[in-house]
């Protein structure tokens, strides 16, 4: 890890493909979720998996590894009290407490840089175990 | 969705050497009484002991509670000197809270118009008694004259208003007002004056004391007019007194284990009418410490926590008695049978049987009432372990056998199909028991925190301080380690096999529970992490499809094994202070018990 500047940001680049996949989710709504992984060898954030619009929240949570950290973007659709269909984009920093310290540090320091690349995120959640990114939590944040 | 089906109430918490005060609803026709236990205030319906309501908002142990004269509000006080006034019905909305005294409040009374409240207690020297307006808290008088803890106070129920107080300095003080000022003081007693009550018509008041006497005074002037006759009087300290609604009789209860009913004549002397003795075993637990005359019911409370209700019209009829727990109910067990009997035990050594739908069914009589830490029961046999190094086996006929195992038992389980085989885990290892004999004591070398044995007695799972589960097979008197399972991140607190033996579930101190498959030893259901404090207990439903976990965070969470853990049902606030016991009576009812000494039955409606 290289420390540049006075912030705790590591020198991870963001692959072009990650940015475009995110834009597809945001503008064209072709994905329900995108999971990003840090590729240490290439020193950048790459797309690991995407989910089609028909997939559910359960599919998304099972796609996240139990013992390793990831970044994820999820498009959450819901109906408000006034009966309008709304959609909010959540950025989830998945950092389970059972994962390795090195992984947690890596993802934590690179998060800021990566987040800046993604415009239009409505809410951000940091989850250290599955209960913290439960559907109830997401629903409550959206309302 | 879950809903509360039944609550088996706790009993008023009692203390040896002091009386307790219970209050009744003054609304005509209503038969509910109020008492306190721990931090909760309980409203119990005498006609139907299963109909109870609990107010649990005090931050300190609650001491006394009273209904307002119009029956709409309840004022309750606690040991920090705070008084809370809340609505008697529905959600018990708080109206006001006042910090009244600087120490414990022992008694509280409303004025008959419901506008003023007088509270007395221990004030560390200053203000031992205070009277204030109920809605603003402004003082309505100066109450000097007492030098020690003021045990009781009373408000004259008719005009002109008077307040009387009595205390540990043997004095009975009389105040006139409002604004209340000291009028006179009487020192007729030679020991602590425990209770003081005005008759409902306001003409007289009576004080009772630990010197076994009861003295009657005139209500308007405070002069002594008579005493309870010593003919047939109590032979022990009198703890409480209550007037009949027609102001002609009083009931007194005493440490001599009897309650006496006296006729109070016009000239103020009291003559014994009847003595009611309890039919208990005659031990300390039968000392009566509280009484109440509510419409046609006479209620007495004993030190051991038994409430007996006599009928005022027919004093010879045997009373309706029921009991409950007064302390943390630490374990629950359901006995098969029809109807199902629920056994609950609390650490002070009380084991009580309950029947769903009926409530209290009986106490398990134990000759030595030692404290109980763990309890396991199968059909007719109950095995308990306490804080001495012994395990006690009680069979259906009441014979108790004690087995000394040499060190403190931490956890106890019975092989359900052959109940004479028991596995006891201790700090360093396990002890296998068959009947009343120790088969072997095995030192395992690590700190054992939980254990369970398979119903056929061939396999045992031991959980350790480091979070590892070790599976052993039992052959004769030796254990052979078969596997070590690692998943938990905290010391294991509870392990149970499912009734169909295909799975087992374990819970740990790090708030996580896991369901494992028995034969493959793989994780079956994980991510059961929804509690916010340590898991204390765990139970399986009889059809092995549902697991319930109870925790110190007062919640019970119910998971279905076939669905992901996020589809859980949560019962929030099941028991103030933490849930310590859990059991299923059938596939849709969970029984839970906890620190608040209550037992609740919940019905689950699964979608």
Residue B151 Cα, gap to closest chain A Cα (Å): 51
pLDDT score of A3:
44
Is residue B591 within 8 A of residue B557, CB to CB? The reply is no
Closest CA to B584 of B257, B351, B332: B332
By the CB < 8 Å criterion, does B527 face chain A?
A: yes
Which of A113-127, B73-87, B140-154: highest mean pLDDT? Answer: B73-87
Reported pTM:
0.84
The C-alpha atoms of residue B372 and residue B351 are separated, in whole angstroms, by 9
Residue B375 binned pLDDT confidence (cut-offs 50, 70, 90) = confident
**Around Cβ B317, how many Cβ atoms within 10 Å?**
9
The C-alpha atoms of residue B515 and residue B115 are separated, in whole angstroms, by 58
Closest CA to A52 of A63, A68, A41: A63
Proportion of chain A in helix, strand, coil states, percent, rounded to 5 = 35, 30, 35
Answer whether residue A1 is part of any domain.
no
Q: Name the residue among A58, A98, A129 with its Cβ closest to that of B564.
A: A58
Give Cβ neighbours of residue B518 (< 8 Å, ≥ 6 apart): B497, B501, B502, B503, B504
In total, chain B counts a number of residues equal to: 607
pLDDT score of B357:
81
DSSP β-bridge partners for residue B2:
B604
In this structure, the dihedral spanned by the alpha carbons of residues B57, B59, B62 and B67, taken in order and rounded to 10 degrees, is: -30
Kindly report each contact of residues B308-315 with a partner whose C-beta sits within 8 Å and lies 24 or more positions away, as own/partner.
B308/B278, B309/B46, B310/B276, B312/B244, B315/B261, B315/B274, B315/B276
Output the average pLDDT for chain B.
Answer: 87
Is residue B409 within 8 A of residue B424, CB to CB? The reply is yes
Chain A's closest residue to B526, CA to CA, is: A130
B266-319 tens-digit pLDDT: 877 888 888 888 766 667 888 889 999 888 888 889 888 888 888 888 888 888
Residue B500 binned pLDDT confidence (cut-offs 50, 70, 90) = confident
Q: Give the CATH number for residue A72.
A: 3.40.20.10
Question: Phi and psi (nearest 5°) for B584?
Answer: -105, 135
DSSP β-bridge partners for residue B105:
B121
List, as one string, the DSSP characters of B100-135: --SS-EEEEEE-TTSSEEEEEE--TTS-SEEEEETT
Element (H, E) at A41: none
Answer whether residue A60 is part of any domain.
yes
Q: Name the residue among A97, A98, A131 with its Cβ closest to that of B530.
A: A131
Residue B402, burial from CB neighbour count under 10 angstroms (0-12, 13-18, 19+) = middle
Q: Name the residue among A58, A130, A135 with its Cβ closest to that of B529.
A: A130
The C-alpha atoms of residue B330 and residue B372 are separated, in whole angstroms, by 9
Is residue B590 within 8 A of residue B584, CB to CB? The reply is yes
**Around Cβ B300, how many Cβ atoms within 10 Å?**
25
Any idea what the Cα angle at residue B203 is, between residues B201 and B207, rounded to 5°? Answer: 105
Domains in chain A, number: 1
A29-70 tens-digit pLDDT: 888 888 988 887 777 888 888 888 888 888 888 888 888 999
What would the mean pLDDT of B534-552 be, rounded to a whole number? 92
Is residue B154 within 8 A of residue B205, CB to CB? The reply is yes
By the CB < 8 Å criterion, does B529 face chain A?
A: yes
Closest CA to B239 of B302, B331, B307, B305: B302
Q: Name the residue among A97, A98, A134 with its Cβ closest to that of B566.
A: A134
Answer whether residue A2 is part of any domain.
no
pLDDT score of A9:
59
By the CB < 8 Å criterion, does B59 face chain A?
A: no
Contact A130/B489, CB-based, under 8 Å? no
Closest CA to B450 of B468, B477, B475: B468
Q: B457: helix, coil or strand?
A: coil
Q: Name the residue among A97, A130, A135 with its Cβ closest to that of B527.
A: A130
Answer whether residue A21 is part of any domain.
yes
Task: For residue A131, give its domain range.
Answer: 8-142
pLDDT score of B537:
92
In this prediction, what percent of chain B has a pLDDT beyond 70? Answer: 98
Residues of A in contact with B529 (CB under 8 A): 129-131
By the CB < 8 Å criterion, does A131 face chain B?
A: yes
Chain B's closest residue to A57, CA to CA, is: B566
Residue B528 Cα, gap to closest chain A Cα (Å): 8
Buried/exposed code over B266-296 (b: 16+ C-beta within 10 A; e: otherwise) = eebebebeeebebebeeeebbbbbbbbbbee
The C-alpha atoms of residue B384 and residue B333 are separated, in whole angstroms, by 12
Answer whether residue A3 is part of any domain.
no
Q: What is the CA radius of gyration of chain B?
A: 27
B559-604 tens-digit pLDDT: 998 888 878 889 988 898 899 999 998 888 999 999 988 999 999 9
pLDDT score of B356:
84
By the CB < 8 Å criterion, does A16 face chain B?
A: no
B113-122 tens-digit pLDDT: 889 999 999 8
Residue A80 Cα, gap to closest chain B Cα (Å): 22
Q: B604: helix, coil or strand?
A: strand
Closest CA to B487 of B518, B517, B526: B526
Q: What is the CA radius of gyration of chain A?
A: 15
Give Cβ neighbours of residue B76 (< 8 Å, ≥ 6 apart): B34, B36, B41, B55, B58, B62, B64, B65, B66, B83, B84, B86, B108
Residue B348 binned pLDDT confidence (cut-offs 50, 70, 90) = confident
Element (H, E) at B235: none
Residue B147 binned pLDDT confidence (cut-offs 50, 70, 90) = confident
B10-38 tens-digit pLDDT: 899 888 888 889 998 888 878 889 999 98
Residue B153: pLDDT above 80? yes
Is residue B531 within 8 A of residue B553, CB to CB? The reply is yes
Question: Phi and psi (nearest 5°) for B45?
Answer: -95, 120
Which whole-number Å values give the CA distances from B573 to B48, B56, B509, B578, in the listed order?
24, 10, 19, 8
| Dihedral class, residue B349 (left if φ above 0, else alpha if ψ from -120 to 50, else beta) | left
Element (H, E) at B354: strand B351-355
């Amino acid at each position: 890890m290289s420390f540049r500047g006075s912030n705790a940001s590591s020198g991870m680049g963001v692959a072009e493909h990650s940015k475009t996949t995110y834009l597809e989710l945001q503008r064209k709504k072709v994905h329900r979720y995108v999971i990003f992984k840090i590729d240490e060898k290439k020193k950048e954030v790459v797309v690991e998996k995407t989910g089609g619009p028909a997939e559910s929240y359960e599919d998304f949570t099972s796609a996240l590894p139990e013992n390793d950290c990831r970044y994820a973007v999820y498009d959450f659709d819901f109906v408000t009290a006034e009966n309008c269909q709304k959609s909010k984009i959540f950025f989830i920093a998945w950092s389970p407490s059972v994962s390795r310290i090195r992984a947690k540090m890596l993802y934590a320091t690179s998060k800021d840089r990566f987040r800046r690349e993604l415009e239009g995120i409505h809410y951000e959640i940091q989850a250290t175990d599955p209960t913290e990114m439960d559907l109830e939590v997401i629903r409550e944040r959206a309302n | 969705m879950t809903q509360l089906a039944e609550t088996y109430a706790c009993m008023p918490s009692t203390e040896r050497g002091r009386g307790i005060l219970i209050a009744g609803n003054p609304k005509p026709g209503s038969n509910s009484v109020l008492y306190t236990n721990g931090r909760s205030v309980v409203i119990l319906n005498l006609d139907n002991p299963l109909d109870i309501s609990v107010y649990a908002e005090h931050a300190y142990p609650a001491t006394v509670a009273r209904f307002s004269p119009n029956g709409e509000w309840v004022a309750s006080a606690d040991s920090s000197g705070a008084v809370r006034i809340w609505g008697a019905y529905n959600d018990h909305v708080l109206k006001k809270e006042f910090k009244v005294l600087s120490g414990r409040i022992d008694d509280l009374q409303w004025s008959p118009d419901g506008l003023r409240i007088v509270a007395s207690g221990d004030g560390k020297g200053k203000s031992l008694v205070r009277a204030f307006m109920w809605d603003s808290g402004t003082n309505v008088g100066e109450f000097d004259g007492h030098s020690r803890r003021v045990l009781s106070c009373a408000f004259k129920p008719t005009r002109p208003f008077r307040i009387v107080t009595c205390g540990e300095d043997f004095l009975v003080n009389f105040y006139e007002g409002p604004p209340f000022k000291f009028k006179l003081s009487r020192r007729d007693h030679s020991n602590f004056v425990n209770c003081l009550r005005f008759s409902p018509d306001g003409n007289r008041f009576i004080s009772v004391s630990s010197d076994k006497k009861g003295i009657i005074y005139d209500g308007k002037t405070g002069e002594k007019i008579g005493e309870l006759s010593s003919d047939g009087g109590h032979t022990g300290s009198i703890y409480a007194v209550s007037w009949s609604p027609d102001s002609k009789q009083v009931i007194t209860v005493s440490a001599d284990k009897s309650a006496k009913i006296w006729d109070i004549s016009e000239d103020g002397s009291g003559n014994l009418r009847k003595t009611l003795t309890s039919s208990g075993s005659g031990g300390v637990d039968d000392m009566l410490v509280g009484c109440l005359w509510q419409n046609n019911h006479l209620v007495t409370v004993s030190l051991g926590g038994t409430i007996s209700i006599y009928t005022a019209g027919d004093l010879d009829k045997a009373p309706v008695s029921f009991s409950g727990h007064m302390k943390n109910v630490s374990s629950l067990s359901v006995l098969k049978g029809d109807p199902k009997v629920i056994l609950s035990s609390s650490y002070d050594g009380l084991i009580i049987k309950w029947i769903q739908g009926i409530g209290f069914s009986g106490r398990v009589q134990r000759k030595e009432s030692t404290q109980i830490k763990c309890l396991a029961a199968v059909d007719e046999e109950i095995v308990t372990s306490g804080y001495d190094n012994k395990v006690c086996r009680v069979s259906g006929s009441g014979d108790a056998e004690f087995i000394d195992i040499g060190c403190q038992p931490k956890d106890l389980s019975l092989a359900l199909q052959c109940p004479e085989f028991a596995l006891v885990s201790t700090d360093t290892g396990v002890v296998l028991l068959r009947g009343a004999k120790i088969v072997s004591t095995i030192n395992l070398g690590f700190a054992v925190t939980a254990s369970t044995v398979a119903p056929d007695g061939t396999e045992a799972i031991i959980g350790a301080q480091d979070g590892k589960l070790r599976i052993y097979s039992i052959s004769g008197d030796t254990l052979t380690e078969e596997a070590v399972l690692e998943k938990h991140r905290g010391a294991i607190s509870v392990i149970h096999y499912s009734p169909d033996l295909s799975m087992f579930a374990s819970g740990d101190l790090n708030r996580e529970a896991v369901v494992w498959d028995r034969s493959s030893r793989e994780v079956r259901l994980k991510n059961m992490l929804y509690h916010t404090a340590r898991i204390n207990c765990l139970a399986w439903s009889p059809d092995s499809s549902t697991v319930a976990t109870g925790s110190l965070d007062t919640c019970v969470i119910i998971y279905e094994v076939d669905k992901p853990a996020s589809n859980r049902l949560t019962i929030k606030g099941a028991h103030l202070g933490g849930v310590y016991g859990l059991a299923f009576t059938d596939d849709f009812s969970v029984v839970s018990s906890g620190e608040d000494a209550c037992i609740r039955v919940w019905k689950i409606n699964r979608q």
